[in-house]
């Protein structure tokens, strides 16, 4: 197995707030290899965005406390001095944010912002940087890039702005691209284009991609491995096919079951996960999903570890149910209508 590009070990992030200690991330482990796409899936408040931002040191703050390690090229990002972090940010690890409207500066031209990023990390002339910017804009599929390079963000549509964001993220050929809900604000047609683009660019630049989303449909095509997060923890992790065809956590079943599927006959009633995610200040004891889990039993008050419980060694989960029970019970949620089809 090749050396992983990035290794996250026992990451915990806590924020002190007026209401108490928020355990935003409470135990996340993963490895990321070159050329791979890792999908991180979970609801709002599951800690997926905080995890991503911590990888870039963006959550550093007086009120934030960290535990664990984020090892990138042999160095721990968590303890790295700010100056070294600045070298990495945008250069070796880049981020694509969810909302292209608010993450581009509205008073600077799009091209200027990309030129600035390039010149911050490499000593090239303005003209060279501008030429590269135009090339990048072409690469991400922006038509008439020579003119659009001088456009302001508000002159571009949502899809175009997101492309510009991707161009900005790729401007220094990063090793890792973190895409935080890159398509949530976009129409499905544009979403399909952006996902195809991300995958193509990953193959071309041989970077690794971390794709964060709340929609399992988005990761189905381009991810290699998937982490499912709930209340700050990884509750299930494994290769994509394992997660889709042999999901072990009732939470993953719920996520899979609540997406209306166009390739199947219409369901009578959509499956939904009852209730809402717990407050991260007061996380339930034992299994954090217990209060919303329809299959919870006595043992669930005891905390389950993230370990391998199935035949495939890379597939980890946190659920006390026996393997047979899981494989039987999950049919109620995910495959109920497939058996009729």
Partner 1 sequence: MTENDGALLEIRQLKKWFPIHKGFMRRVSGHVHAVDDVSLSLAKGETLGLVGESGCGKSTLGRCVVRLLAPTSGEIVFDGQSIGQLRSRALRPLRRQMQMIFQDPYASLNPRKRVGTIISDPMKIHGIGDRQERKKKVEELLETVGLSPEHYNRFPHEFSGGQRQRIGVARALALRPKLIVADEPVSALDVSIQAQVLNLLESLQTGFDLTYMFIAHDLAVVRHISDRIAVMYLGVIVEISPAEALYDNPLHPYTISLLSAVPIPDPDVEAKRETILLPGELPSPANPPAACRFHTRCPYVQPTRCTTEVPELRKLGDGHFVACHWAEKIKAGAIEPIESTPIEPERQDPVEAPSA
- The residue to which tokens 């992790």 are assigned: 237
CA-CA distances (angstroms) from residue 242 to 21, 79, 114, 248?
35, 35, 39, 9
Nearer of residues 235 and 256 to partner 1, judged by Cβ: 256
Structure tokens at 168: 């900005």
Q: With respect to partner 1, which residue has the nearer C-beta, 39 or 57?
A: 39
> What tokens appear for 248 in the block?
């072990």
Interatomic CA distance for residues 233 and 40, integer angstroms: 11
Using DSSP, state whether 272 is helix, strand or coil.
Answer: coil
Q: What is the DSSP letter of 185?
A: T
Provide the minimum distance between the beta carbon of 289 and partner 1 in the complex, in angstroms, as a whole number: 12
Q: In the bound complex, what is the minimum distance in angstroms from residue 94's beta carbon to partner 1?
A: 19
- Least CB distance to partner 1 at residue 65 (A): 25
What is residue 95's DSSP assignment? E
**Minimum CB separation from partner 1 for residue 86, in Å?**
30
Rg (the chain; Cα; Å): 21
By beta-carbon proximity to partner 1, the closer residue of 28 and 185 is: 185
C-alpha–C-alpha distance, residues 315 and 325, integer Å: 17
Which residue, 108 or 244, has its beta carbon nearer to partner 1? 244
Residues of the shown chain interacting with partner 1 in the complex, contacts defined by CB under 8 A: 43-44, 135, 138-141, 143-144, 146-147, 157-160, 187-193, 195-197, 200, 214-218, 220-221, 240-241, 244, 254-256, 258-263, 266-267, 269-274, 276-277
Cα separation, 149 vs 334, whole angstroms: 46
In angstroms, the CA 3 to CA 295 distance is: 39
- Minimum separation from the CB atom of position 180 to partner 1 (A): 15
Q: Which residue has the tokens 């407050």?
A: 279
Of 93 and 96, nearer to partner 1 (C-beta) is 96
Could you tell me which residues come within 8 angstroms of residue 29 by beta carbon, excluding any fewer than 6 positions away?
A: 8, 9, 10, 11, 234, 306
Element (H, E) at 64: strand 64-72
Who's near 220: CB < 8 A, 6+ residues apart? 240, 244
What is residue 48's three-state secondary structure?
A: helix
Judged by CB, which is closer to partner 1: 144, or 322? 144
Relative orientation angle of helices 158-170 and 188-205, to the nearest 10 degrees? 10
DSSP 3-state assignment of 77? coil
Residue closer to partner 1 (CB basis): 17 or 322: 17
Residue 57 Cβ vs partner 1, minimum distance, rounded to whole Å? 27
| Smallest separation, CB 219 to partner 1 (Å) | 8
Q: How many whole angstroms from its chain centre is CA 326?
A: 26
Q: In the bound complex, what is the minimum distance in angstroms from residue 297's beta carbon to partner 1?
A: 22
Nearer to partner 1 (CB atom), residue 62 or residue 189: 189
CB of 158 to partner 1, least distance (A): 7
Question: Which residue lies nearer to partner 1 by CB, 86 or 214?
Answer: 214
């Amino acid at each position: 197995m090749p050396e992983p590009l990035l290794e996250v070990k026992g990451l915990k992030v806590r924020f002190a707030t007026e209401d108490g200690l928020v355990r935003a991330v409470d135990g996340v482990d993963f490895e990321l290899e070159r050329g791979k796409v890792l999908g991180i899936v979970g609801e709002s408040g599951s800690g997926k965005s905080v995890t991503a931002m911590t990888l870039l040191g963006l959550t550093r703050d007086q009120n934030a406390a960290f535990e664990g390690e984020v090892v990138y090229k042999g160095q721990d990002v968590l303890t790295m001095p700010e100056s070294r972090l600045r070298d990495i940010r945008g250069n070796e690890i880049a981020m694509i944010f969810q909302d292209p409207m608010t993450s581009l500066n509205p008073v600077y031209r799009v091209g200027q912002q990309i030129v600035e990023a390039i010149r911050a990390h490499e000593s090239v002339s303005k003209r060279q940087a501008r030429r590269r910017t135009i090339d990048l804009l072409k690469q991400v599929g922006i038509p008439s890039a020579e003119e659009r390079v001088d456009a302001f963000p508000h002159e571009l549509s949502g899809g175009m702005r997101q492309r510009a964001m991707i161009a900005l993220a790729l401007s220094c050929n990063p090793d890792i691209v973190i895409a935080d809900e890159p398509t949530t604000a976009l129409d499905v047609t544009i979403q399909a284009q952006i996902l195809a683009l991300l995958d193509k660019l990953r193959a071309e630049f041989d970077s690794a991609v971390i794709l964060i989303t709340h929609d399992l449909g988005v990761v189905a095509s381009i991810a290699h491995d998937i982490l499912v997060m709930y209340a700050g923890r990884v509750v299930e992790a494994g290769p994509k096919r394992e997660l889709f065809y042999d999901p072990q956590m009732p939470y993953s079943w719920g996520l899979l079951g609540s997406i209306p599927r166009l390739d199947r006959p219409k369901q009578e009633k959509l499956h939904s996960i009852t209730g809402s995610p717990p407050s991260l200040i007061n996380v339930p004891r034992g299994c954090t999903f217990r209060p919303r889990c329809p299959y919870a039993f006595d043992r669930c008050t005891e905390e389950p570890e993230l370990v391998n419980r199935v035949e495939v060694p890379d597939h980890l989960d946190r659920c006390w149910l026996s393997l047979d029970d899981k494989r039987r019970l999950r049919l109620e949620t995910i495959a109920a209508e497939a058996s009729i089809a």
